[in-house]
Amino acid sequence: MWLTRLLGLQQGYWASISAVVVMQSERGATMRASRDRLVGTAIGALLGWVAGGLWHNDVLLYAATILLCMLLPAALGFRDAGRLAGVAATIILLVPSRLPRWIMARDRFFEVSFGIVVALLISHPAWGALIPNQQSATSE
């Protein structure tokens, strides 16, 4: 949280939440969870931004956006990223804000990405020190 405040991230708590969400008991699992969260957030932020330009509290548009959020990552080979894409799009579309949707999408992506980077920087040496015989994330 201290780093997000230092960097001026308005909703830095998303970085903290993301760091906690992707941390796993082994490095390989942390890498996979990080990848899925990053891909899901990127897709959800993009689709949320596009749908936000058309948004007029249209339930069908929201449903179509979430459906795309579920299908697109799976089609790209990231089957676990769909629900994360749906979460990102939901936040962009449904959380009240005076900010333009593109700023919400951009900030959401950067805040989540920052949390993922921090989690990876901490988890790699931490798990290596705690479990020295564990395989590296690249060999899994």
Residue 43 scores a pLDDT above 80: yes
Q: Give the Cα separation of 21 and 69 in Å (integer).
A: 19
91 pLDDT higher than 60: yes
Return the closest-CA partner of residue 55 out of 3, 12, 25, 97: 97
N- to C-terminal Cα separation, the chain: 31
Please answer whether residues 76 and 100 qualify as being in contact, where contact means their C-beta atoms are separated by less than 8 angstroms: no
Range 49-57 average pLDDT: 88
User: What pLDDT score was predicted for residue 137?
Assistant: 45
Residue 84 in this model has a pLDDT that exceeds 60? yes
- Total-model pTM: 0.77
DSSP letters along 88-100, please? HHHHHHHS--SS-
Q: Which two tokens stand for residue 43?
A: 């897709």
50 pLDDT more than 50: yes
